Amino acid sequence: MNHLAASELILNPDGSIYHLNLKPEHLADTILLVGDQNRVDKITQYFDKVDVVIKKREFHTQTGVYKGKRISVISTGIGTDNIDIVLNELDALVNIDFETRQIKENKTSLNIIRIGTSGSIQKDIPVDSIVISELAVGFDSLLHYYQSDDVQLQDFNEAIEDHLNTYERNSKPYVVPADSNLVKTFMSEEVFSGFTGSNVGFYAPQGRVLRLPLRDDNMKDKLAAFSFKGKKITNLEMETSAIFGLSKMLGHKALSLNAIIANRATGNFTKDGAKAVDNTIKYTLEKLLSV
């Protein structure tokens, strides 16, 4: 087994992993990821107890118990670059021995579920609804740095690339599915099935214009018009594709739930985003009891 050098597996002086500042005993096998560090408290307010609270940079972790189930809630900040840090360090906490710096022979599989906010690009998915992402397409380049071809849906990759025809300068899209068993557990008539686009930014990459002109004025409409094997891209955000891709490569189970706070097709924005997020949190916690 390979010994991981100090420059590769970076530990803090207290033995915790570098960015998250966590030790293995701080982490539950079921993890909820949120972008906003203030949203951690919004979730753990429903816990029976919280016995771990650790903060470093944008990474805020609380681990506790909800109706007898041990759960960790971790804020990631925004973007797939942060997801690269969080997913690799979560995996290291359970699958690398920090004392010997060697990869464990027997691997632990985590349940990793994102609770986020997002904008719909389809008229029939209204604000304040919940979208469960069965698929995600990444418009960043993260997965291209890994040997990730086996986890990608290559036919979807090609279909999106052909449809958009914008990849002389941009990264090629990659499509990754959620864990099918988690999808079955969380899906219901109360929510929408989603194919989520994870963009590399909030403004131009999602077709927003303030003062800077876009290279492609029709990008948002092109994304909304895409259809392949009965699947349309439903909503845009900035993390899900990386969560799905890295989780699948590392042997973890991942899902993403999004509170829809904007509809880009109709121009509507929620009147009570806090309530929409709270409804998504409550839905997620109850479904987690079956995981």
Q: Which ranges of 10-55 does DSSP label H, i.e. alpha helix?
A: 39-44
pLDDT of 1 strictly over 80: no
> What is the average pLDDT score of the chain?
95
Q: DSSP state, 177?
A: E
- What gap in Å lies between CA 52 and CA 189, rounded to an integer? 35
CA angle, 103 then 152 then 76, to 5°: 60
Taking residues 119-135, what's their average pLDDT? 97
d(CA 237, CA 224): 14
How far is the C-alpha of 133 from the C-alpha of 74, rounded, in Å? 19
Residue 215 confidence class, pLDDT cut points 50, 70, 90: confident
| Model confidence at 235: pLDDT above 90 | yes
Band (pLDDT 50/70/90 cuts) for residue 170 is confident
Give the model's pLDDT for residue 165: 81
Compute and round to an integer the Cα radius of gyration of the chain: 19
DSSP 8-state secondary structure symbol assigned to residue 17: B
CA distances, 42 to each of 47, 99, 175, 280 (Å): 10, 35, 31, 11
Is residue 259 predicted with pLDDT exceeding 90? Answer: yes
Q: Give dist(CA 33, CA 37) in Å, integer.
A: 10
The CB-side HSE value for 234 (13 A sphere, CA atoms) comes to 26
Q: 0.75 cut: is pTM over it? A: yes
Pairing of strands 130-138, 192-198: parallel
Type and span of the H or E element at 107: none
* Cα–Cα nearest to 200, from 88, 91, 87, 82: 82
Helix (H/G/I), strand (E/B), else coil: 116: strand
Q: Tell me the per-residue pLDDT of 88-105, one tens digit each, with 9 for 90 and over.
A: 999 999 999 999 999 999
Mean per-residue pLDDT, 266-279:
96
For 108, 224, 233, the CA distances from 270, given in Å and listed in that order, are: 39, 20, 20
Enter the tokens of residue 44.
């753990």
Q: Which residue has the tokens 């909800």?
A: 66
Cα–Cα distance measured from residue 139 to residue 268, given in angstroms and rounded to the nearest whole number = 24
Which residue type is seen at 237?
Answer: E
